[in-house]
Amino acid sequence: MADPISAAAQAAAAANVSTSQPSGAKQPQNLTPEQKQALSRLHQAAQQLEGVFLQMVMNAMSETVPKDSIFGKESASEETWSSMLDDERAQAIAKSGSMGIAKQLEQQLRDQVLSDAPREAQTQVDRRIDP
């Protein structure tokens, strides 16, 4: 007798193998330069939002760590350096895309951005991840 769980897992695997792209992914299409620019800005903004979110998470995590060590209380300069290090780590994680937050945002907002590409292409994203 076949195991019903493994049969369901095999059916799900077969369904995933039959599609070459993940669900929700759009087929490539001919894009105008404005649409390409708008998508580039969407990517940049989504990546930066992921970075800000990760900075908030890392700052909250840092607040849970005791400020005293065997060498005494943490100085203001050590606290500033740790905060800057957390910020850089958050930006590096966001840039790597390993969390996937920016990717999900891009997938959800892609159609909206493409529908209003002339205006979106002109939108300025002030904060830069790259130094």
| Mean pLDDT within 86-91 | 92
Q: Considering the domain boundaries, does residue 56 fall inside one?
A: yes
Any domain includes 52: yes
Task: Strands of the chain (E only): list them.
Answer: 68-69, 72-73
Please state, for a pLDDT cut of 70, what percent of the chain lies above it: 73
Domain span at 35: 31-121
Structurally, how many domains does the chain consist of? 1
Residue 66 lies in a domain: yes
Buried b (16+ CB within 10 A) or exposed e, 70-93: eeeeeeeeeeeeeeeebbeebbeb
Of the candidates 25, 30, 27, 85, which has an alpha carbon nearest to the alpha carbon of residue 58?
Answer: 85
pLDDT tens by residue, 45-70 = 999 999 999 999 999 998 898 888 78
Assess if residue 127 is contained within a domain: no
Does some domain include residue 49? Answer: yes
Residue 17 lies in a domain: no
Alpha-carbon distance 123 to 39, whole Å? Answer: 11
9 in any annotated domain? no
Predicted local confidence at residue 74, as pLDDT: 81
- Greater model confidence, 45 or 7: 45
Q: How many CB atoms lie within 10 A of CB 53?
A: 15
Residue 103 pLDDT class (50, 70, 90 cuts): very high
